[in-house]
Structure formats: C-alpha cells, structure tokens
C-alpha cells in the first residue's frame, strides 16, 4: 500500500494505471471506524485499484465547530487501510488543498443545500462539494462510495456529479451501527461514558417513530412531537432538528404515505450527532 501526500504524485499514480482498470474511491476525514470500513470493503471488492482519501476538510466546518479538535490519527488509519488491502491512502496537507491564495468554490444551490444540515451549518455543503470536486479531479474514480449516515450529503453529491457531468458513479451503503443502535461516527470518540449512553436516544427515537408509523400514524407532526418528548427526557440531549421528509426531495411531507425519511440532528453535551431512518408504510395499511 502507498501513502501519498501530494497531489502531483497522486495524479502520476492514477495516470500509470492501465486503461480499463476500475478505480474505486472512498473519501473520508479519517478517524476510521466500522462505517468507513464497510465502504472500503465494498470498494475493495468492486475495484482493481482502491483509493481512500483522508483529509479533514476545513471548508466544511463552521467557525464555531470542531475542526481543530476533530479526531486525527493518520498512523492508525493507514494501518487499518493496509489491513483492508487498500492500494493508496491519499492524505494531502491543508496547504496543498487550500493554499493561502485559494478562492475557488463549488456550490449546489437551492433547497437541497439550504434545508436541514444546510440550514444548521451554513456553508457546510459548499465545503463538501468543493473538496469532492477537487478529489474527483485528482483521483478520477470510476466509482465513489458514500454512507447513508450522511443522507442529505448523498443527495447533494449525486446532484453535483449529475449537474457538473462528473464521470464517477456514486455507490451508497447503509448506516453501520453499534450493537445498541448508535450510528458509528468519528465524533463518538469525544464521549464520556454518560454521554455515550445518552447518545443512544437518537436511534431509540427513530425506532419508536418507525413503530408509530407502521402502527398507522400518518401525521408527521404527531410523530415529531412524540420523538421530541422522548428525546427531551434525556437531560444531556438538545434537539437541533427533527424532520420527516421525502427520501429524494428532502421536502417535508404533510402525510406519511409510501416511503419517508425520518432525519434528526441532536447535540449530546457538546457533540452534534446526525442520524436517519427510512420508513415505508405498506400501501395496504389504511
């Protein structure tokens, strides 16, 4: 396995790959966990050459967010990638990706990037789409792997790739969870024992919402209200948003028919977590 830290070397590596070989790509911010590993394993199985990038992207963090403290351990991540038979870890420096005189950004405009995460984290998706455009240009992947954990991000990335005619296929994989349901996240490493326990409230509330929906509740407002009540019982939790939306549009639904996405962001202590669950009411339910 190669660890490549500069863009020119990464490009040269890609240029030397034989025509027709499939390049798979897993972009990450490091702090690798089982969620990342599921993408890496799928990518490994599908590709001739698998590239994993590790770059904590300052452009997608707000000024009050945790960029400075974001968990980083390149040595550990590289070791994990080696074990997963990754071909290249691309870990560029901040200076390489964003030199001091850097002024070019790529933005998906409109509702999709201004609702939910876009509303809570202004500029976040602009940072995501900018870094991904740069990485796609450097790595030229045939296939790129993303997790449903960042559900809205997946829709934004698909739109970016489609509308800018970028030549990579977006493969989306399900959320990997701990045994108690907590979605794996690099940020889980911030938790003390109490917070870690409290963090299970996101999954618990999603599961309950699914039960209520399948039980026949069609009114999103009532489900959201009951989720709020449940989460508010947890003293360490502070709700940012809870929404029930169309799984492709991210627009709030008036009534639950067919498939919807229940999505939420909750702070546990200082740590902001996101999670989601797709719920399908079978058409034969009244």
- Interacting residues with ligand AMP (CB under 6 A): 28-29, 35-36, 38-39, 146-147, 149-150, 173, 175-176, 183-186
Q: Which is nearer to ligand AMP, 39 or 135 (CB)?
A: 39
3-state secondary structure of 26: strand
Closest separation in Å from C-beta 124 to ligand AMP: 11
Closest separation in Å from C-beta 7 to ligand AMP: 19
Q: Which is nearer to ligand AMP, 39 or 112 (CB)?
A: 39
Annotation-wise, does 32 bind a ligand?
Answer: yes
Between the alpha carbon of residue 87 and those of residues 24, 34, 144, 166, the distances in Å are 10, 19, 15, 23
Q: How far apart are CA 158 and CA 146, in angstroms?
A: 10
DSSP summary character for residue 212 = H
- Is 36 a catalytic site residue? yes
> Taking Cα atoms as reference points, which of 83, 75, 61 lies closest to residue 30?
75
Q: How far apart are CA 139 and CA 137, in angstroms?
A: 6
Q: 4, 14, 25, 36: which is the annotated catalytic residue? A: 36
Q: Which is nearer to ligand AMP, 136 or 212 (CB)?
A: 136
Q: Which is nearer to ligand AMP, 54 or 260 (CB)?
A: 54
Annotation-wise, does 73 bind a ligand?
Answer: no
Residue 96 CB-density burial (10 A; 0-12 exposed, 13-18 middle, 19+ buried): middle
Annotation-wise, does 176 bind a ligand?
Answer: yes
Annotation-wise, does 184 bind a ligand?
Answer: yes
Annotation-wise, does 281 bind a ligand?
Answer: no
- 285: which 2 tokens? 């339910």
Q: How far apart are CA 231 and CA 250, in angstroms?
A: 22
Annotation-wise, does 109 bind a ligand?
Answer: no
Dihedral (C-alpha) 55, 60, 62, 64: value to the nearest 10 degrees?
-30
CA atoms within 13 A on the CB side of 152: 28
Packing angle, helices 7-15 and 124-139, rounded to 10: 50
Q: Which is nearer to ligand AMP, 28 or 168 (CB)?
A: 28
Closest separation in Å from C-beta 59 to ligand AMP: 13
Closest separation in Å from C-beta 27 to ligand AMP: 6
Contact 274, 153 (CB under 8 A): no
Closest separation in Å from C-beta 1 to ligand AMP: 19
Closest separation in Å from C-beta 29 to ligand AMP: 4
Dihedral (C-alpha) 44, 274, 169, 7: value to the nearest 10 degrees?
-70
Indicate the residue whose CB is closest to ligand AMP: 147
Annotation-wise, does 83 bind a ligand?
Answer: no
Q: Which is nearer to ligand AMP, 31 or 220 (CB)?
A: 31
Q: How far apart are CA 13 and CA 138, in angstroms?
A: 10
What residues are designated binding site for beta-alanine?
60
Active site positions, annotated: 36
What residues are designated binding site?
29-36, 60, 147-150, 153, 176, 184-187
């Amino acid at each position: 396995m190669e660890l490549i830290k500069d863009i020119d070397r990464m490009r040269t590596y890609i240029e030397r790959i034989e025509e027709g070989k499939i390049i798979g790509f897993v972009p990450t911010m490091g702090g690798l966990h089982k969620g990342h590993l599921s993408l890496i394993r799928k990518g490994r199985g599908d590709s001739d050459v698998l590239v994993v990038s590790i770059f904590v992207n300052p452009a997608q963090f707000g000024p009050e967010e945790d960029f400075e403290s974001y968990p980083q351990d390149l040595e550990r991540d590289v070791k994990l990638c080696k074990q997963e038979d990754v071909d290249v870890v691309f870990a560029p420096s901040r200076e390489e990706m964003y030199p001091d005189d850097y002024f070019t950004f790529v933005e998906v405009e409109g509702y999709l990037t201004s609702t939910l995460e876009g509303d809570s984290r202004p500029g976040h998706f602009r940072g995501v789409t900018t870094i991904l455009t740069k990485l796609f240009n450097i790595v030229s992947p045939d296939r790129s792997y993303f997790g449903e954990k960042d559900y809205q991000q997946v829709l934004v990335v698909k739109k970016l790739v489609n509308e800018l005619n970028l030549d990579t296929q977006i493969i989306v994989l399900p959320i990997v969870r701990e045994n108690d349901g907590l979605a794996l996240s690099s940020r889980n490493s911030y938790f003390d024992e109490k917070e870690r326990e409290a963090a299970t409230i996101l999954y618990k509330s999603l599961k309950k919402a699914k039960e209520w929906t399948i039980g026949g509740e069609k009114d999103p407002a009532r489900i959201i209200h009951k989720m709020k009540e449940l989460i508010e019982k947890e003293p360490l939790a502070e709700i940012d948003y809870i929404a029930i939306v169309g799984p492709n549009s991210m627009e709030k639904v008036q009534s639950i028919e067919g498939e919807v996405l229940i999505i939420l962001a909750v702070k546990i202590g200082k740590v902001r977590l996101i999670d989601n669950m797709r719920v399908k009411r079978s058409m034969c339910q009244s």
